Structure 1
Amino acid sequence: MTSNFSYFARPLRTALLPLVAALVLAGCASTGEVSTGITTPVQFKEQTAKGAAAVTTNAAPAQAAGNWWVAFNDPVLDELVERAAVNNTSVQQAAARLGEARALARTVDADRSVQVGLGAGASRQAGIDRNLSNKPSTLLNAGASVSYEVDLFGKLSGASNAASLDAQSREALLQSARLLVQAETAQTYLSVRALDAERALVREQVDAYADTLRLTERRFKAGDLAELDVARVQTEVAATESDALALDRQRALLEHALAVLTGDVASNFAMHSGEWSTALPAIPVGLPSTVLERRPDIAAAQRSMEAAQARLGVAKTAWFPTIALTGGGGYASSDLSDLFKWSARSWGIGALLSLPLLDGGRREAGVLGASAQLDGALASYREQVLVAFREVEDQLASLRLLQEQSDVQARAVASSRRATVLSDSRYRNGYVSQLDLLDARRSELRNRRLALQVKAAQYQATVGLIKALGGGWDVPAVVAANATVKG
């Protein structure tokens, strides 16, 4: 009895050996935690002293950016940004890609469920059995089938998890697209308002030169001035008017760009000139670097990295066997009237264990490819974090230096205005030539335009900082971190 059992047990152990080995190695399908290797400072360099402590941070789930543009207190800006967030084609494309990713995730997840199907058929056959007549006969059948793949090694759950992470990445990219469009809309609008102010300044100077030209022409006709004086003023009038026309052209192009951002046809879009009364939000002191965790592009890069990690685990499961359970039941009969009788019933169940032995290196190549994709996703995530820090530091440095430049430029404007007043007085009293007066006016115009351009750059850098921070700094993490730093 013992020898008989051993006789049958040896083949059984041999047959189950691949399965036992696969069960032992099943833990190898997990890739474990992946270290990003990124160490970030507690605060940004531009807002903290050197030598701050360093911590390693991981991205949190993407947070929807708030209505950060309301801090500028401009109703026109509010309307344009809200229109762009809905009608912009880039946002709509990102939303469509998100819908596609979610549908794909549902498709992949469906593979983990029991598959049930109904079927019916009819066939006409002859010569099946030599002992019977070769007369053709009809076979009718109807029944149901059930199949289920046992996810013993996490292949299906890993694929479902990877697809879900892809959908989360697409969701974060949609938020990123909205933020980029909102920021670009705000920057374009602010550029238009800055050009309106500069155009008004240059047009004012054109009118002033025109008055001077009329006075100079009268004095030339009266014989008080030479023709050279007239030519000089005519040159200033033409040159300043040319600058005004160049600004008009720039404004028209920006207005057309604003139409595209808001999803409107450039021919139907118009934004009237208005006063530049937009408020400039103040930047809080001591911004912690953790605010970057809200950036949607960083969250998207992390989700892509996690999806690549999950796919590496799926690739490793190719070394393990696949177990599928099947079942079916129904009726079969050569006579339609007997098809659903109890005597015509049929059923069957089965289990299939498959394990490829030789595949020419296909599974190994799949693992290597998935590993390379994970390396690429990790590098992409690291790059996104590095770019985020660079963008924030760029805008913080720009705001700091622009404020200093604004203060210096304000003094230059005040001095040039005083020089113009003195030159005009001395010219009227005959102490200086007309050339000196024109130089003073030209210097004043240049400095006033530079002051406007510095102001415009401050607004652009503020919007750029908000975009770099992921949609503002008004988040609980900022408040808590500031309290910790102050404490």
Structure 2
Amino acid sequence: MSSGSAGSPHASSTGEGQVPFPAREGGTAVARSLLTEERLPYAEGGGRRARSLGLRHLLLLPLIPALAGCVVGPDYARPSVETPLAYREGGKREDSAAVVAARKKGWREARPNDAAERGDWWRVFKDPTLDRLIRLVDVDNQSLRQAVANYRQARALVASAQAALYPTVVGAPSITRTGSGNTARTSAALLGQASWELDLFGGTRRNIESEAALAQADAATIAATRLTIQAEVAADYLTVRYADALQRVLDENVANFKKTLGITENQYAAGVAARSDVITAQTQVQTIEAQAIAIRLTRVQYVNAIATLIGRPPSEVTIPVAGIGRNPPTVPVGIPSDLLERRPDVAQAERLVQGQSERIGVAVAAFYPTVTISAQGGISGLTRNGLFSAANQVWSATAAGTEVLFDGGARTAAVRSAEAGYDAAVANYRQVVLAALAEVENQMAALRILGLQQSAQDAAVESSRRAVEITLNEYRAGTQNFTTVVTAQGLLVSNEINALQVRLNRFTAAVTLIRALGGGWDVRALPSDAELKGPTLPIDRGGQAVRPDE
């Protein structure tokens, strides 16, 4: 019995008066006739027709073995998402091997790739301090611990759902002492009870698959959280390096302005400069000194932000002074469909889609009968007659079936709710894919444009330095006024600060692009169905998981 078209997990609509979804193949022809019985009365009505169907279902209880392979509801198929062959901004060339191969295949569906490689993406910056700080994220970051705890909770829900496949066994020992006049009797019972609700139509199995998919989504959330925090640490660290470089630039300008102040004082003493030139030079020194002091606060704040991200008190975190590099590392991009195979947020959204798809099957299973097998056995009797004698042995076994004949449309509403949840999850998945494409395009554009801006800004810095040198020489010679010197020096400071800011922006864009590309993550990091349903707790096969017992 097929379960809907491959393209849509809920291709069969749940119209009133129909069995909402057929079951999977696996039963006999008689089982098929039971499962495809026309016109189950979902909601309104529920009269003789409903009672007739209910009785027929119950009369077919002896056919239980034939139904063992039936699972109602839609089989999951990943929603299709088309991606372009190449990026508009600086991606693969049109004649590149990757693009040519992709064009031959046509647009590719974005789905996780088991062959993708993983790596410590931040090592491309070749900074041991950054490497040390980011590795501490996995040890003590509290947001990551929270994500891991959520995953452990989801795993427990998988185990709880699996438990419904097995019988429940209860022991019920008792002892009773009764008396009348001079006579007293002691009776005892050692009884066991077992109850097993058979999953004939797959509702429990659908629930297990749903919980497993949601647990995988939580595992992907761990990866997405880790990647986001790592990128934040890297961005904050780069800002600290920018603050160090800016501190050096401002300190150098303080020294240069003090030299200029000395020149104006000499010129004033020689009677070739006005007192206002000296005051203006003093003001320049004081202004740049104030800026140099202020940047220290920026550094402290970002070091403390890093401490928070790695889960340490600020007093325990120190970062040595160093500058920022001139050019960020080259980030390999690939083609759009490759990028989507490595983003944990895309994997998380896709796993949520399957989780919602399986919920439809859970809701559909409510339209079918439930069968419960119960048994009780043990010994019960007076102790003086020999409690364990054959006469005291008791047992009973029962098979019972139940079916809802009328519920006011509650089951139909549950199916429609599950379908709507699936549609919402699909829309969210496709939106996540579109946002991922836009994010990569934006950061690639940023790297390209900022590279051009840095070239222009560096040229402006060199021109400003020559202007300061020329105007100072002319001022010493008495052929230039001090206002021109002040203007030239102010432009130099401004251009040097802007050049550092552009450099920081380029490095930050590189970090953001790496994060947008997934940071080397791939779907192999997700726990498999076998792992989720097994006794172990694999958070991350890459060995980067927060310890679950902490």
TM-score range, shorter-chain basis? 0.7 to 0.9
Q: Determine if contact 2:118/2:520 at 8 Å carries over to the other structure.
A: yes
Note if contact 1:73-1:278 (Cα within 8 Å) is conserved in structure 2. no
Rounded Cα–Cα distance in structure 2 between residues aligned with 1:473 and 1:428: 62
Distance 1:96 1:475, change over 3 A: closer
| Number of equivalent positions | 459
Once the two structures are superposed, what CA deviation does each residue of 1:287-328 show, in whole Å capped at 9, x if it has no partner? 443222111111111111101100111011101011111112
Alignment partner, residue 381 of structure 1: 429
Provide Cα deviations, 1:233-277, integer angstroms capped at 9, x if missing partner: 122122222222332221111111011011111233222322335
CA contact (8 A) 2:341 2:523 kept: no
Counterpart of 2:153 in structure 1 is 100
**Aligned counterparts, 1:297-316, within 5 A:** 297-316=345-364
Task: Note if 1:186 corresponds to 2:226.
Answer: no
Q: Distance in 2 between matches of 1:61 and 1:355?
A: 44
Answer with 261-270 or 306-315: which moved more.
261-270
What's the secondary structure of 2:398's corresponding residue? strand
Shift of 1:136: 9.2
Q: Unpaired segments of 5 or more residues in structure 1?
A: 1-10, 128-132, 477-487
Q: What CA distance in whole angstroms lies between the structure 2 residues aligned with 1:153 and 1:285?
A: 47
Separation in 2, partners of 1:69, 1:314: 44
The equivalent of 2:120 in structure 1 is 67
Residue among 230, 235, 240 paired with 2:278: 230
In structure 2, relative to structure 1, the CA distance for the partners of 1:336 and 1:208 (3 Å cut) is farther
Q: Is the 8 A contact 1:140 1:332 kept in 2?
A: yes
Q: Which residue of 2 aligns with 1:324?
A: 372
Deviation at 1:435, TM superposition (A): 1.3
Inter-partner Cα distance in structure 1 for 2:217 and 2:53: 46
Please state how far the C-alpha of 1:278 moved relative to its aligned partner.
8.3
For the pair 1:294 / 2:324, whether they are aligned, the reply is no
Q: Does structure 2 retain, via aligned residues, the 8 Å contact 1:153–1:320?
A: yes
Q: Report the counterpart of residue 8 of structure 1 in structure 2.
A: none
Rounded Cα–Cα distance in structure 1 between residues aligned with 2:361 and 2:377: 36
Q: Describe the superposition over 1:60-110 as per-residue Cα deviations: whole angstroms up to 9, x where unpaired.
A: 268784211111110000000001222111111111111111111111111
State which of 82, 93, 96 in structure 2 corresponds to 1:39. Answer: 82
Question: Once the 2 structures are TM-superposed, how far is the Cα of residue 140 of structure 1 from its aligned partner?
Answer: 2.3
The alignment yields a C-alpha RMSD, in angstroms, of 3.2
Report what 1:450 is aligned to: 498
Corresponding letter in the other structure for 2:206: G
Q: 2:473 aligns with which of 401, 425, 447?
A: 425
Give the deviation of 1:119 after TM superposition: 2.2
CA distance in 1 between partners of 2:215 and 2:522 (Å):
27
TM (norm. structure 2) is 0.77
Q: For the residues of structure 2 that align with 1:119 and 1:473, how far apart are their CA atoms?
A: 52
Aligned positions of 1:81-480 closer than 5 A: 81-123=134-176, 139-277=187-325, 280-284=328-332, 286-335=334-383, 338-472=386-520
Query: What amino acid sits opposite 1:369 in the alignment?
Result: S
**Structure that is richer in helix per residue:** 1
Amino acid at match of 1:89: Q
Distance 1:106 1:92, change over 3 A: same
Name the TM-score, length of structure 1 as normaliser: 0.86
**1-structure distance, mates of 2:285, 2:404:** 86
Partner of 1:267: helix, strand, or coil? Answer: helix
Range with bigger deviation, 431-440 or 44-53 = 44-53
Q: Which range is displaced more, 41-50 or 171-180?
A: 41-50
1:353 match: secondary structure: strand
Counterparts of 2:113 and 2:216 in 1: how far apart (Å)? 9
CA distance in 2, matches of 1:357, 1:271: 71
Given residue 132 of structure 2, which amino acid in structure 1 is its aligned partner?
Answer: E
Q: Distance in 1 between matches of 2:239 and 2:187?
A: 79
Q: Aligned residues: percent identity?
A: 34
